Each structure stands twice: as C-alpha cells, then as structure tokens.
Amino acid sequence: MATSRTAPSGTPVRARSRWSSEVGPGMVVGVVGTVGLVVSMFMSWQSGGVHPSDIPTAFLWDREATGDPSFLVYLIPLAVVMAVGSLLRGGAGLRILAGLLTMVVVGVYAYQLHEITDQLGVSFGDAIDSGFYVAAVAGVIGFVSGFLPTTVRTRRVEPVA
C-alpha cells in the first residue's frame, strides 16, 4: 500500500507497508516442551535410579516385561515430532499430536507402575521420580503450544524513494 504525505520541508514522501511474520508464542512454548521432553530422557523416572533407557518398551502393556528395546523408542520420536512442529510455521498439529501422545505414554506408564506398587503395598508417590514429572509437564506444554499462535504478523512501514 503506497501513501503520499508531505514532509516538513514540503517534499512529498511515499511509504510502503510490509507485513511480515515473526516467531509466535506457539513455537516458543513448543521448544520449551521439546527441551523438557529431551531433559526427561536423561533423568530418573522411578526411585532407585531407573531411567527410560532401563524401562522396557513392553512395560506399557505387560508389567512383567524385560529386555530391549527401551522406553526411549517412544520418547525420542515424540521429541523429534515436537521439535519439528516447533520449528515449522504450520507445525501446530504436530505439537498437539506429540503432546497428546506424550501424555498417553506417561499416563499408561503411571497406571502400570501404580498397579505394581499397589500389589507390593508401596506408595506410588515414593516409587515415581522427577523425570516422570518433567515428561508429563513437557507433554502438557507441547499439547497447549499447538493452540497458541505459531507466528505473529507485524507491520513495517518503510519510506520509498
């Protein structure tokens, strides 16, 4: 859009408006969720120093599962999807998907661990460790980031010679 106005010296000046997109809160919050999920992979999820690399993948459906592959089979792809969703302009759907699936994985893990602790007569709160909470919060943050604006439109006015 070109407009014409008079400068104080009496010479006409034309200005051009430009719309541009900048990083919005959805992308920033998505990166925070991604970082949280990655950090949780290096933290203990269960008392006694049990890390995600020590938890078998099949634990989600079989409480007595042992062996490989580890729980990282779920967490690494979810972190990658959340990161890609955080870096793309149209990545809100990916952030929602990764956040939702992270909450499902963490929720099913909590259910299985609760069932085991209930059978053993141990407190669930004593069995769970900080990495679990970091992953749960990262999933919620990733999910919420999908509903925030990915980009923010800004308007710049530039003088045209």
Residue 83 in domain: yes
Residue 5 in domain: no
Residue 109 in domain: yes
In which domain, by residue range, is 107 found?
Answer: 23-150
pLDDT in the model for residue 89: 84
Average pLDDT over residues 62-80: 89
User: Which residues partner with 100 through β-bridges?
Assistant: none
pLDDT tens for residues 72-101?
999 999 999 999 999 888 889 999 999 999
Residue 27 in domain: yes
**How many structural domains is the chain composed of?**
1
Residue 7 in domain: no
Residue 116 in domain: yes
- How would you class 36 by CB atoms within 10 Å of its CB: exposed for 0-12, middle for 13-18, buried for 19 or more? buried
Residue 18 in domain: no
Contact status, residue 52 vs residue 71, Cβ threshold 8 Å? yes
Nearest C-alpha neighbor of 110 from the set 83, 87, 135: 135
pLDDT tens for residues 118-153?
998 888 888 999 999 999 999 999 999 999 887 777
